[in-house]
Amino acid sequence: MRTATVALFLATTSLTPAFAADITAVSHIDAVTVYPLGAEVTRIAEARIAPGEHTLIFEGLPAGLAPETLRVEGAGDARIEIGSVDSKTAFLPTGSNEERKRIEKDIDMLTDERATLDQVISDAEYQKSLMQQLAAATLTQKPKEGETVILDAQGLGGVLDLVGAKLTSLGKTVLDARARQREIGRLLQDLNNKLTQLAPEEDQRMRVTVHLTAPVETQGTFRLSYRILYARWQPIYEARLGEIDKDGKARIELVRRAEVEQSTTESWDNVKLTLSTARPRGATAAPDLLPMPINGFVEGRRENYTARGTDAAGQEPLGSMWDKPGMDFSDVTSDDEKKDAAVQAQANVQIAGFQALYGISDRVSIDNTGTAKKVRIATDEITARLSALAAPKLDPNAYLTAAFTLSGETPLLPGPVMLYRDGVFMGQGALPMLSPGEEARLGFGADDLIKVKRIEVKRRTAEEGLISTSNVDERAFDITVKNLHQGQIPVTILDQMPYSTDQKITVETLAGMTPASFKDYERRRGVMAWSFDLASQGIKVIKHGYKVSWPQDLKLGLNME
Protein backbone atom coordinates (compact mmCIF):
# COMPACT_ATOMS: atom_id res chain seq x y z
CA MET A 1 0.00 0.00 0.00
CA ARG A 2 1.33 3.38 -0.95
CA THR A 3 0.42 6.81 0.35
CA ALA A 4 1.08 10.01 -1.56
CA THR A 5 0.70 13.54 -0.22
CA VAL A 6 0.74 16.59 -2.42
CA ALA A 7 0.59 20.22 -1.28
CA LEU A 8 0.12 23.22 -3.53
CA PHE A 9 -0.06 26.95 -2.88
CA LEU A 10 -2.15 28.35 -5.74
CA ALA A 11 -4.27 31.40 -6.31
CA THR A 12 -7.29 31.37 -8.60
CA THR A 13 -6.79 29.96 -12.07
CA SER A 14 -8.71 30.56 -15.28
CA LEU A 15 -10.49 28.06 -17.50
CA THR A 16 -10.36 24.37 -16.61
CA PRO A 17 -10.97 21.35 -18.84
CA ALA A 18 -13.91 18.97 -18.48
CA PHE A 19 -13.52 16.23 -15.90
CA ALA A 20 -15.05 12.84 -15.47
CA ALA A 21 -17.00 13.69 -12.33
CA ASP A 22 -17.70 16.42 -9.82
CA ILE A 23 -17.45 15.38 -6.18
CA THR A 24 -18.99 17.58 -3.51
CA ALA A 25 -16.73 17.53 -0.48
CA VAL A 26 -18.48 16.96 2.83
CA SER A 27 -15.98 18.76 5.06
CA HIS A 28 -15.74 19.92 8.66
CA ILE A 29 -13.39 22.29 10.44
CA ASP A 30 -10.80 20.23 12.31
CA ALA A 31 -8.21 22.76 13.52
CA VAL A 32 -7.86 26.52 13.85
CA THR A 33 -4.76 28.59 14.59
CA VAL A 34 -5.74 32.05 15.84
CA TYR A 35 -3.39 35.03 15.67
CA PRO A 36 -3.73 38.37 17.46
CA LEU A 37 -5.49 39.40 14.26
CA GLY A 38 -6.74 36.74 11.86
CA ALA A 39 -6.80 32.96 11.86
CA GLU A 40 -5.82 29.94 9.79
CA VAL A 41 -8.60 27.35 9.36
CA THR A 42 -8.06 23.71 8.37
CA ARG A 43 -10.93 21.65 6.98
CA ILE A 44 -10.94 17.86 6.49
CA ALA A 45 -12.94 16.01 3.81
CA GLU A 46 -12.99 12.33 2.89
CA ALA A 47 -14.07 11.10 -0.52
CA ARG A 48 -14.02 7.95 -2.61
CA ILE A 49 -12.05 8.69 -5.77
CA ALA A 50 -12.71 6.59 -8.88
CA PRO A 51 -10.03 6.15 -11.57
CA GLY A 52 -9.68 9.16 -13.82
CA GLU A 53 -9.89 12.94 -13.52
CA HIS A 54 -12.25 14.56 -11.02
CA THR A 55 -13.16 17.87 -9.44
CA LEU A 56 -13.47 17.99 -5.64
CA ILE A 57 -15.75 20.92 -4.72
CA PHE A 58 -15.77 22.78 -1.38
CA GLU A 59 -18.93 24.88 -1.16
CA GLY A 60 -19.98 27.66 1.20
CA LEU A 61 -16.56 28.78 2.41
CA PRO A 62 -16.19 32.30 3.88
CA ALA A 63 -16.05 34.99 1.22
CA GLY A 64 -13.44 36.81 3.31
CA LEU A 65 -10.79 34.12 3.05
CA ALA A 66 -7.56 35.09 1.33
CA PRO A 67 -7.40 33.06 -1.93
CA GLU A 68 -3.62 33.33 -2.04
CA THR A 69 -3.39 31.38 1.23
CA LEU A 70 -5.34 28.35 -0.02
CA ARG A 71 -3.44 25.14 0.62
CA VAL A 72 -4.58 21.62 -0.24
CA GLU A 73 -3.03 18.42 1.02
CA GLY A 74 -4.26 14.97 0.03
CA ALA A 75 -3.47 11.45 1.13
CA GLY A 76 -4.90 8.15 -0.06
CA ASP A 77 -4.41 4.43 -0.22
CA ALA A 78 -3.03 4.87 -3.73
CA ARG A 79 -1.46 7.68 -5.71
CA ILE A 80 -3.47 10.90 -5.95
CA GLU A 81 -2.33 13.86 -8.06
CA ILE A 82 -3.59 17.38 -7.36
CA GLY A 83 -3.54 19.34 -10.57
CA SER A 84 -4.77 22.80 -9.62
CA VAL A 85 -6.88 24.68 -7.12
CA ASP A 86 -9.48 27.24 -8.25
CA SER A 87 -11.46 29.69 -6.14
CA LYS A 88 -14.54 31.62 -7.16
CA THR A 89 -16.99 33.91 -5.40
CA ALA A 90 -20.53 32.53 -5.34
CA PHE A 91 -23.81 34.09 -4.24
CA LEU A 92 -26.20 31.94 -2.23
CA PRO A 93 -29.82 32.79 -1.35
CA THR A 94 -30.43 33.28 2.35
CA GLY A 95 -33.53 33.34 4.51
CA SER A 96 -35.76 30.68 5.96
CA ASN A 97 -38.24 29.31 3.37
CA GLU A 98 -40.16 27.49 6.10
CA GLU A 99 -40.60 30.72 8.04
CA ARG A 100 -41.76 32.54 4.92
CA LYS A 101 -44.32 29.80 4.18
CA ARG A 102 -45.68 29.96 7.73
CA ILE A 103 -46.05 33.76 7.58
CA GLU A 104 -47.70 33.62 4.13
CA LYS A 105 -50.19 31.02 5.44
CA ASP A 106 -51.05 33.27 8.40
CA ILE A 107 -51.55 36.21 6.03
CA ASP A 108 -53.95 34.17 3.86
CA MET A 109 -55.96 33.06 6.91
CA LEU A 110 -56.29 36.60 8.22
CA THR A 111 -57.22 37.93 4.77
CA ASP A 112 -59.99 35.32 4.45
CA GLU A 113 -61.26 36.19 7.95
CA ARG A 114 -61.39 39.88 7.06
CA ALA A 115 -63.41 39.08 3.90
CA THR A 116 -65.82 37.02 5.99
CA LEU A 117 -66.24 39.92 8.39
CA ASP A 118 -67.02 42.20 5.45
CA GLN A 119 -69.94 39.89 4.58
CA VAL A 120 -71.08 39.81 8.22
CA ILE A 121 -71.14 43.62 8.33
CA SER A 122 -72.99 43.81 5.02
CA ASP A 123 -75.63 41.29 6.16
CA ALA A 124 -76.11 43.08 9.48
CA GLU A 125 -76.51 46.45 7.78
CA TYR A 126 -79.10 44.94 5.40
CA GLN A 127 -81.02 43.44 8.31
CA LYS A 128 -80.98 46.78 10.11
CA SER A 129 -82.38 48.50 7.04
CA LEU A 130 -85.02 45.79 6.63
CA MET A 131 -86.11 46.06 10.29
CA GLN A 132 -86.42 49.80 9.99
CA GLN A 133 -88.56 49.45 6.86
CA LEU A 134 -90.82 46.84 8.51
CA ALA A 135 -91.27 49.00 11.61
CA ALA A 136 -92.16 52.02 9.50
CA ALA A 137 -94.67 50.01 7.47
CA THR A 138 -96.33 48.66 10.61
CA LEU A 139 -96.74 52.10 12.14
CA THR A 140 -97.94 53.81 8.97
CA GLN A 141 -99.96 51.01 7.44
CA LYS A 142 -103.50 52.16 6.36
CA PRO A 143 -106.39 49.80 7.04
CA LYS A 144 -108.15 48.24 4.08
CA GLU A 145 -111.64 49.36 3.23
CA GLY A 146 -114.11 47.94 5.67
CA GLU A 147 -111.33 46.95 8.22
CA THR A 148 -110.52 48.65 11.47
CA VAL A 149 -106.88 48.62 12.75
CA ILE A 150 -106.57 49.56 16.36
CA LEU A 151 -102.93 49.89 17.70
CA ASP A 152 -103.11 50.68 21.33
CA ALA A 153 -100.20 51.79 23.56
CA GLN A 154 -99.31 48.23 24.57
CA GLY A 155 -99.11 47.08 20.98
CA LEU A 156 -97.08 50.12 19.98
CA GLY A 157 -94.63 49.47 22.82
CA GLY A 158 -94.22 45.84 21.82
CA VAL A 159 -93.33 46.80 18.24
CA LEU A 160 -90.83 49.39 19.38
CA ASP A 161 -89.18 46.96 21.87
CA LEU A 162 -88.87 44.26 19.26
CA VAL A 163 -87.35 46.57 16.67
CA GLY A 164 -85.05 48.25 19.19
CA ALA A 165 -83.69 44.94 20.55
CA LYS A 166 -83.02 43.63 17.06
CA LEU A 167 -81.30 46.81 15.94
CA THR A 168 -79.14 46.81 19.10
CA SER A 169 -78.07 43.23 18.44
CA LEU A 170 -77.25 43.98 14.82
CA GLY A 171 -75.31 47.13 15.77
CA LYS A 172 -73.18 45.14 18.26
CA THR A 173 -72.45 42.58 15.57
CA VAL A 174 -71.24 45.35 13.25
CA LEU A 175 -69.08 46.97 15.96
CA ASP A 176 -67.47 43.66 16.95
CA ALA A 177 -66.74 42.82 13.32
CA ARG A 178 -65.11 46.20 12.63
CA ALA A 179 -62.98 45.95 15.82
CA ARG A 180 -61.74 42.54 14.70
CA GLN A 181 -60.99 43.96 11.26
CA ARG A 182 -58.83 46.70 12.80
CA GLU A 183 -56.96 44.05 14.80
CA ILE A 184 -56.50 41.98 11.64
CA GLY A 185 -55.10 45.05 9.89
CA ARG A 186 -52.43 45.48 12.56
CA LEU A 187 -51.56 41.77 12.47
CA LEU A 188 -51.27 41.84 8.67
CA GLN A 189 -48.97 44.87 8.82
CA ASP A 190 -46.67 43.10 11.31
CA LEU A 191 -46.63 39.91 9.23
CA ASN A 192 -45.87 41.84 6.02
CA ASN A 193 -42.99 43.61 7.77
CA LYS A 194 -41.59 40.24 8.86
CA LEU A 195 -42.05 38.91 5.37
CA THR A 196 -40.09 41.87 3.99
CA GLN A 197 -37.23 41.17 6.39
CA LEU A 198 -37.19 37.53 5.28
CA ALA A 199 -37.02 38.45 1.62
CA PRO A 200 -34.47 36.20 -0.10
CA GLU A 201 -31.05 37.83 -0.29
CA GLU A 202 -27.84 36.75 -1.89
CA ASP A 203 -25.03 36.02 0.52
CA GLN A 204 -21.45 35.99 -0.70
CA ARG A 205 -19.46 32.76 -0.29
CA MET A 206 -16.31 31.22 -1.72
CA ARG A 207 -16.32 28.09 -3.88
CA VAL A 208 -13.07 26.16 -4.08
CA THR A 209 -12.50 23.39 -6.64
CA VAL A 210 -9.60 20.95 -6.50
CA HIS A 211 -8.72 19.05 -9.68
CA LEU A 212 -7.62 15.49 -9.00
CA THR A 213 -6.28 12.55 -10.95
CA ALA A 214 -6.25 9.00 -9.59
CA PRO A 215 -4.98 6.01 -11.62
CA VAL A 216 -6.99 3.54 -9.55
CA GLU A 217 -9.95 3.77 -7.21
CA THR A 218 -8.91 4.92 -3.74
CA GLN A 219 -10.21 6.44 -0.53
CA GLY A 220 -8.75 9.92 -0.10
CA THR A 221 -8.47 12.30 2.84
CA PHE A 222 -8.00 15.96 1.97
CA ARG A 223 -7.02 18.94 4.10
CA LEU A 224 -7.97 22.41 2.91
CA SER A 225 -6.48 25.33 4.85
CA TYR A 226 -6.94 29.06 4.40
CA ARG A 227 -6.57 32.31 6.32
CA ILE A 228 -9.35 34.67 7.34
CA LEU A 229 -9.29 38.13 8.89
CA TYR A 230 -12.30 38.40 11.18
CA ALA A 231 -10.90 36.51 14.16
CA ARG A 232 -8.59 37.44 17.00
CA TRP A 233 -7.29 36.55 20.42
CA GLN A 234 -5.96 38.72 23.20
CA PRO A 235 -4.28 37.76 26.46
CA ILE A 236 -5.89 38.41 29.82
CA TYR A 237 -3.73 38.06 32.92
CA GLU A 238 -4.44 37.52 36.57
CA ALA A 239 -1.69 38.34 39.09
CA ARG A 240 -2.09 37.13 42.71
CA LEU A 241 0.44 38.48 45.18
CA GLY A 242 1.42 36.22 48.07
CA GLU A 243 2.75 37.07 51.53
CA ILE A 244 5.78 39.31 51.87
CA ASP A 245 8.81 37.62 53.46
CA LYS A 246 11.39 39.26 55.72
CA ASP A 247 13.58 40.17 52.71
CA GLY A 248 10.80 42.13 51.02
CA LYS A 249 10.07 39.46 48.41
CA ALA A 250 6.88 37.62 47.53
CA ARG A 251 5.57 35.09 45.07
CA ILE A 252 3.23 36.13 42.28
CA GLU A 253 0.92 33.59 40.71
CA LEU A 254 0.52 34.81 37.13
CA VAL A 255 -2.39 33.15 35.35
CA ARG A 256 -2.44 33.54 31.59
CA ARG A 257 -5.75 33.29 29.79
CA ALA A 258 -6.83 34.04 26.26
CA GLU A 259 -10.04 35.62 25.01
CA VAL A 260 -10.85 34.29 21.54
CA GLU A 261 -13.61 35.49 19.25
CA GLN A 262 -14.52 35.33 15.59
CA SER A 263 -17.26 36.79 13.40
CA THR A 264 -16.85 34.86 10.16
CA THR A 265 -19.64 33.05 8.32
CA GLU A 266 -18.77 29.67 9.82
CA SER A 267 -18.87 28.29 13.36
CA TRP A 268 -15.91 26.45 14.85
CA ASP A 269 -17.42 23.37 16.44
CA ASN A 270 -15.26 20.96 18.44
CA VAL A 271 -11.98 22.12 16.89
CA LYS A 272 -8.34 21.80 17.91
CA LEU A 273 -7.45 25.36 18.90
CA THR A 274 -3.95 26.80 18.75
CA LEU A 275 -3.05 30.35 19.72
CA SER A 276 -0.05 31.96 18.05
CA THR A 277 1.86 35.07 19.10
CA ALA A 278 2.90 35.73 15.49
CA ARG A 279 1.41 38.79 13.82
CA PRO A 280 1.02 38.00 10.11
CA ARG A 281 -1.21 41.03 9.57
CA GLY A 282 1.47 43.41 10.79
CA ALA A 283 4.38 44.97 8.94
CA THR A 284 7.09 42.59 7.73
CA ALA A 285 9.88 45.15 7.39
CA ALA A 286 10.88 48.49 8.85
CA PRO A 287 9.41 51.54 7.07
CA ASP A 288 11.53 53.61 4.72
CA LEU A 289 12.39 57.14 5.80
CA LEU A 290 11.88 59.78 3.14
CA PRO A 291 14.41 62.56 2.49
CA MET A 292 13.61 65.74 4.43
CA PRO A 293 15.52 68.69 2.98
CA ILE A 294 15.50 72.09 4.69
CA ASN A 295 15.36 75.30 2.68
CA GLY A 296 14.25 78.86 3.16
CA PHE A 297 10.60 79.60 3.82
CA VAL A 298 8.85 81.11 0.79
CA GLU A 299 5.54 82.84 1.39
CA GLY A 300 2.76 81.25 -0.61
CA ARG A 301 4.61 78.02 -1.36
CA ARG A 302 2.37 75.02 -0.71
CA GLU A 303 5.07 72.81 0.80
CA ASN A 304 7.55 74.15 3.31
CA TYR A 305 9.66 72.50 5.99
CA THR A 306 6.87 72.10 8.54
CA ALA A 307 4.52 70.55 5.98
CA ARG A 308 7.12 67.96 4.91
CA GLY A 309 7.59 66.94 8.52
CA THR A 310 4.29 64.99 8.46
CA ASP A 311 5.02 62.40 5.79
CA ALA A 312 4.16 58.73 5.69
CA ALA A 313 7.00 57.92 8.05
CA GLY A 314 5.48 60.16 10.71
CA GLN A 315 1.99 58.74 10.76
CA GLU A 316 0.56 57.75 14.08
CA PRO A 317 0.47 54.01 14.74
CA LEU A 318 -2.79 52.20 14.41
CA GLY A 319 -4.84 51.92 17.60
CA SER A 320 -5.08 48.64 19.58
CA MET A 321 -8.06 46.43 18.85
CA TRP A 322 -8.24 45.07 22.34
CA ASP A 323 -11.24 46.99 24.05
CA LYS A 324 -13.11 44.46 25.67
CA PRO A 325 -11.02 43.10 28.57
CA GLY A 326 -12.72 40.17 30.08
CA MET A 327 -12.49 38.31 33.33
CA ASP A 328 -12.87 34.66 34.19
CA PHE A 329 -13.02 33.68 37.85
CA SER A 330 -13.83 30.03 37.25
CA ASP A 331 -10.73 28.81 39.10
CA VAL A 332 -10.98 31.12 42.14
CA THR A 333 -11.31 29.24 45.44
CA SER A 334 -11.28 30.54 48.99
CA ASP A 335 -8.32 29.89 51.26
CA ASP A 336 -10.42 27.80 53.64
CA GLU A 337 -11.85 25.55 50.92
CA LYS A 338 -11.65 21.98 52.16
CA LYS A 339 -12.70 20.11 49.04
CA ASP A 340 -10.35 19.39 46.17
CA ALA A 341 -10.51 22.26 43.71
CA ALA A 342 -11.12 21.56 40.03
CA VAL A 343 -7.88 21.57 38.08
CA GLN A 344 -7.88 23.61 34.89
CA ALA A 345 -6.13 22.21 31.86
CA GLN A 346 -3.05 24.08 30.67
CA ALA A 347 -2.08 24.75 27.07
CA ASN A 348 0.71 22.84 25.39
CA VAL A 349 3.40 25.41 24.60
CA GLN A 350 5.65 25.11 21.56
CA ILE A 351 8.41 27.51 20.57
CA ALA A 352 8.64 27.86 16.79
CA GLY A 353 11.35 30.31 15.81
CA PHE A 354 10.25 33.77 16.94
CA GLN A 355 6.71 32.82 17.91
CA ALA A 356 5.03 30.82 20.65
CA LEU A 357 2.22 28.40 19.90
CA TYR A 358 -0.24 27.57 22.67
CA GLY A 359 -2.12 24.38 21.89
CA ILE A 360 -5.32 24.20 23.96
CA SER A 361 -5.51 20.68 25.39
CA ASP A 362 -9.25 20.08 24.88
CA ARG A 363 -11.29 20.70 21.77
CA VAL A 364 -13.42 23.82 21.95
CA SER A 365 -16.35 25.38 20.10
CA ILE A 366 -16.50 29.06 19.19
CA ASP A 367 -19.59 30.44 17.47
CA ASN A 368 -19.49 33.17 14.84
CA THR A 369 -21.60 35.74 16.68
CA GLY A 370 -18.65 37.53 18.27
CA THR A 371 -19.09 35.76 21.62
CA ALA A 372 -15.77 35.76 23.47
CA LYS A 373 -14.47 32.34 24.52
CA LYS A 374 -12.01 32.32 27.41
CA VAL A 375 -9.42 29.54 27.65
CA ARG A 376 -6.58 29.03 30.10
CA ILE A 377 -3.04 29.03 28.74
CA ALA A 378 -0.69 28.59 31.71
CA THR A 379 0.07 29.47 35.31
CA ASP A 380 3.52 30.74 36.33
CA GLU A 381 5.05 31.18 39.78
CA ILE A 382 7.25 34.29 39.80
CA THR A 383 9.47 35.69 42.54
CA ALA A 384 8.95 39.44 42.78
CA ARG A 385 10.91 42.16 44.57
CA LEU A 386 8.51 44.37 46.46
CA SER A 387 8.92 48.05 47.19
CA ALA A 388 6.79 50.96 48.27
CA LEU A 389 6.57 54.12 46.19
CA ALA A 390 5.06 57.38 47.45
CA ALA A 391 4.74 60.99 46.28
CA PRO A 392 3.41 62.57 49.51
CA LYS A 393 3.17 66.04 48.01
CA LEU A 394 0.27 64.76 45.89
CA ASP A 395 -0.93 61.64 47.70
CA PRO A 396 -0.29 60.54 51.30
CA ASN A 397 -0.51 56.84 50.37
CA ALA A 398 2.42 54.58 49.60
CA TYR A 399 1.77 52.15 46.77
CA LEU A 400 3.04 48.58 46.76
CA THR A 401 5.00 47.76 43.61
CA ALA A 402 6.21 44.31 42.52
CA ALA A 403 9.14 44.08 40.11
CA PHE A 404 9.91 40.77 38.41
CA THR A 405 11.92 39.38 35.52
CA LEU A 406 10.06 37.27 32.97
CA SER A 407 11.49 33.79 32.85
CA GLY A 408 10.88 30.88 30.49
CA GLU A 409 10.96 30.89 26.72
CA THR A 410 7.65 32.42 25.73
CA PRO A 411 6.92 36.15 25.43
CA LEU A 412 3.96 37.96 26.96
CA LEU A 413 1.74 39.95 24.64
CA PRO A 414 0.38 43.25 25.99
CA GLY A 415 -2.92 42.94 27.79
CA PRO A 416 -4.97 43.79 30.88
CA VAL A 417 -4.07 42.18 34.22
CA MET A 418 -6.43 41.67 37.15
CA LEU A 419 -4.56 42.35 40.40
CA TYR A 420 -5.18 40.49 43.67
CA ARG A 421 -3.51 40.92 47.04
CA ASP A 422 -4.31 38.59 49.93
CA GLY A 423 -7.17 37.21 47.83
CA VAL A 424 -8.78 40.65 47.44
CA PHE A 425 -9.28 42.26 44.04
CA MET A 426 -7.24 45.48 43.97
CA GLY A 427 -8.01 46.72 40.49
CA GLN A 428 -6.88 46.37 36.92
CA GLY A 429 -3.45 47.13 35.50
CA ALA A 430 -1.70 46.40 32.22
CA LEU A 431 1.31 44.43 31.11
CA PRO A 432 3.41 45.64 28.17
CA MET A 433 4.97 43.45 25.52
CA LEU A 434 7.58 41.39 27.40
CA SER A 435 10.25 39.04 26.15
CA PRO A 436 12.00 36.47 28.38
CA GLY A 437 14.62 38.22 30.49
CA GLU A 438 12.84 41.60 30.50
CA GLU A 439 11.80 43.25 33.75
CA ALA A 440 8.29 44.46 34.48
CA ARG A 441 6.55 46.18 37.37
CA LEU A 442 3.01 45.86 38.65
CA GLY A 443 1.30 48.10 41.16
CA PHE A 444 -0.86 46.35 43.76
CA GLY A 445 -2.61 49.36 45.25
CA ALA A 446 -2.13 51.44 48.37
CA ASP A 447 -0.05 49.81 51.13
CA ASP A 448 -1.71 50.63 54.44
CA LEU A 449 1.29 49.30 56.38
CA ILE A 450 3.57 52.05 55.06
CA LYS A 451 2.73 55.39 56.67
CA VAL A 452 3.98 58.57 55.01
CA LYS A 453 3.53 62.13 56.31
CA ARG A 454 4.85 65.35 54.73
CA ILE A 455 4.91 68.47 56.92
CA GLU A 456 6.10 71.96 56.00
CA VAL A 457 8.49 73.04 58.75
CA LYS A 458 9.77 76.28 57.26
CA ARG A 459 8.55 79.02 54.95
CA ARG A 460 10.34 82.34 54.68
CA THR A 461 9.85 85.12 52.18
CA ALA A 462 12.20 88.10 52.51
CA GLU A 463 14.56 90.53 50.81
CA GLU A 464 18.33 90.11 51.04
CA GLY A 465 21.43 91.94 49.88
CA LEU A 466 23.51 95.00 50.78
CA ILE A 467 24.33 96.39 47.37
CA SER A 468 21.41 95.03 45.37
CA THR A 469 18.26 93.66 46.84
CA SER A 470 16.89 90.24 45.89
CA ASN A 471 13.72 88.42 46.74
CA VAL A 472 14.15 85.16 48.62
CA ASP A 473 11.72 82.26 49.14
CA GLU A 474 12.76 79.39 51.41
CA ARG A 475 10.78 76.20 51.93
CA ALA A 476 11.60 73.17 54.10
CA PHE A 477 9.70 69.91 54.68
CA ASP A 478 9.98 66.87 56.90
CA ILE A 479 8.83 63.61 55.28
CA THR A 480 8.35 60.83 57.82
CA VAL A 481 8.06 57.20 56.69
CA LYS A 482 7.16 54.29 58.99
CA ASN A 483 7.16 50.58 58.12
CA LEU A 484 4.52 48.46 59.90
CA HIS A 485 5.28 45.31 57.91
CA GLN A 486 6.73 42.26 59.65
CA GLY A 487 9.81 42.44 57.44
CA GLN A 488 12.10 44.92 55.78
CA ILE A 489 10.88 46.61 52.62
CA PRO A 490 12.51 49.01 50.12
CA VAL A 491 10.90 52.44 49.99
CA THR A 492 11.17 55.24 47.40
CA ILE A 493 9.92 58.74 48.19
CA LEU A 494 9.42 61.27 45.40
CA ASP A 495 9.29 65.04 45.71
CA GLN A 496 10.00 68.14 43.67
CA MET A 497 12.78 70.69 43.52
CA PRO A 498 12.11 73.77 41.38
CA TYR A 499 14.70 74.46 38.72
CA SER A 500 15.63 77.69 36.95
CA THR A 501 15.49 78.43 33.25
CA ASP A 502 16.66 82.02 33.79
CA GLN A 503 20.20 83.00 34.80
CA LYS A 504 18.80 85.68 37.09
CA ILE A 505 16.98 83.05 39.16
CA THR A 506 18.97 80.73 41.43
CA VAL A 507 17.81 77.63 43.26
CA GLU A 508 19.85 76.18 46.12
CA THR A 509 19.41 73.25 48.48
CA LEU A 510 19.18 74.34 52.10
CA ALA A 511 21.91 73.25 54.46
CA GLY A 512 21.31 70.09 56.49
CA MET A 513 18.94 68.52 53.99
CA THR A 514 18.90 64.75 53.29
CA PRO A 515 20.82 64.06 50.03
CA ALA A 516 18.61 62.56 47.33
CA SER A 517 19.44 59.13 45.94
CA PHE A 518 18.45 60.25 42.44
CA LYS A 519 18.11 63.69 40.91
CA ASP A 520 15.99 64.11 37.80
CA TYR A 521 14.40 60.73 38.58
CA GLU A 522 13.61 58.75 35.43
CA ARG A 523 14.83 61.75 33.38
CA ARG A 524 12.14 64.04 34.79
CA ARG A 525 13.82 67.33 35.58
CA GLY A 526 13.37 68.54 39.12
CA VAL A 527 11.97 65.23 40.40
CA MET A 528 14.02 63.88 43.31
CA ALA A 529 13.93 60.39 44.77
CA TRP A 530 15.11 59.01 48.10
CA SER A 531 15.44 55.22 48.08
CA PHE A 532 16.27 53.19 51.19
CA ASP A 533 15.53 49.91 52.95
CA LEU A 534 13.24 50.37 55.92
CA ALA A 535 13.29 47.72 58.61
CA SER A 536 10.16 46.41 60.28
CA GLN A 537 8.74 49.05 62.65
CA GLY A 538 11.48 51.40 61.40
CA ILE A 539 11.05 55.15 60.98
CA LYS A 540 12.87 57.34 58.48
CA VAL A 541 12.75 61.15 58.39
CA ILE A 542 13.72 62.88 55.13
CA LYS A 543 14.56 66.58 55.28
CA HIS A 544 13.89 68.36 52.03
CA GLY A 545 14.25 72.10 51.48
CA TYR A 546 15.37 74.72 48.97
CA LYS A 547 15.97 78.44 48.56
CA VAL A 548 14.93 80.46 45.51
CA SER A 549 16.46 83.91 44.85
CA TRP A 550 15.60 86.40 42.12
CA PRO A 551 16.01 90.15 41.44
CA GLN A 552 13.48 92.46 42.98
CA ASP A 553 12.40 93.84 39.62
CA LEU A 554 11.75 90.36 38.19
CA LYS A 555 8.47 88.54 38.51
CA LEU A 556 8.50 84.77 38.78
CA GLY A 557 6.63 82.77 36.22
CA LEU A 558 5.90 79.92 38.66
CA ASN A 559 3.50 79.56 41.53
CA MET A 560 5.48 77.51 44.07
CA GLU A 561 2.49 76.60 46.21
pLDDT at 242: 86
pLDDT exceeds cutoff 70 at 303: no
CB neighbour class for 409 (10 Å; exposed up to 12, middle 13-18, buried from 19): exposed
If phi > 0 it is left, if psi is from -120 to 50 it is alpha, else beta; for residue 481 that is beta
Reported as a single tens digit per residue, the pLDDT across 372-416 is: 889 988 888 989 999 999 999 999 999 999 999 988 788 888 899
> What string of H, E and C letters represents the secondary structure of 496-544?
ECCCCCCCCCEEEECCCCCCCCECCHHHCCCEEEEEEEECCCCEEEEEE
pLDDT exceeds cutoff 50 at 18: no
Beta bridge partners of 471: 463, 550
pLDDT band with cut points at 50, 70 and 90 for residue 127: confident
pLDDT at 309: 45
The segment with the largest mean pLDDT, out of 137-146, 161-170, 504-513, is 504-513
Largest CA distance in the chain: 152
Q: What is the mean pLDDT of residues 338-364?
A: 65
* CA distances in angstroms from 427 to 172, 258, 352, 421, 447, listed in the order given: 69, 19, 35, 10, 14
Reported as a single tens digit per residue, the pLDDT across 428-480 is: 999 998 888 899 999 999 999 999 999 999 998 887 765 567 888 999 999 99
Strands (E), 249-354: 249-262, 268-276, 348-352
Contact 104, 195 (CB under 8 A): yes
pLDDT band with cut points at 50, 70 and 90 for residue 327: very low
pLDDT exceeds cutoff 80 at 338: no
Contact 492, 388 (CB under 8 A): yes
pLDDT at 346: 60
pLDDT at 154: 61
Beta bridge partners of 201: 94
pLDDT at 233: 92
Residue type, 261: E
pLDDT band with cut points at 50, 70 and 90 for residue 328: very low
pLDDT band with cut points at 50, 70 and 90 for residue 166: confident
pLDDT at 341: 46
pLDDT at 538: 94
Q: What is the mean pLDDT of residues 268-276?
A: 92
pLDDT at 322: 35
pLDDT exceeds cutoff 50 at 326: no
pLDDT at 308: 46
